[in-house]
């Protein structure tokens, strides 16, 4: 039973570029949440997708957007990248009716 998988594992971009990160939830899960984790900090909630709609959003600008597909997988898009966007981006999935969130190992995004 595969857990939460994220791709790519590492990514290097330059300022102003755009990036797309991908997440496949754990089998049986229908809700996907995205978090940003800066070095030495706890993860910060970006947004959550359920039934292909954004249901909750944290304090992140509109440059951060996402999508959920009918198979429950999800993408995180970040436009106009800034140096401060360098972080570990984590995807977590859960079952809407029960259970805790389970995390993938993230995508390490570095902005030059």
Residues in contact with another protein by CB under 8 A are 4, 31, 33, 35, 41-45, 48, 50-51, 55-56, 58, 88, 90, 92, 94-106, 108
Residue 7 or 96 having the CB closest to another protein = 96
With CA atoms as reference, report the closest residue to 79 among 64, 60, 58, 59.
Answer: 64
Q: How far is the CB of 16 from another protein (least distance, A)?
A: 26
With CA atoms as reference, report the closest residue to 77 among 10, 19, 9.
Answer: 19
Residue 9 or 18 having the CB closest to another protein = 9
């Amino acid at each position: 039973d595969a857990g939460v998988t994220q791709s790519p594992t590492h990514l290097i971009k330059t300022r102003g570029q755009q990036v797309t990160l991908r997440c496949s939830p754990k089998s049986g899960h229908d809700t996907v949440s995205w978090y940003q984790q800066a070095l030495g900090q706890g993860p910060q909630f970006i947004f959550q997708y359920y039934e292909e709609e954004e249901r909750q959003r944290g304090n992140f600008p509109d440059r951060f957007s996402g999508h959920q597909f009918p198979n429950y997988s999800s993408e995180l898009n970040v436009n106009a990248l800034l140096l401060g966007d360098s972080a570990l981006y984590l995807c977590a999935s859960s079952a809407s009716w029960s259970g805790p969130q389970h995390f993938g190992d993230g995508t390490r995004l570095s902005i030059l």
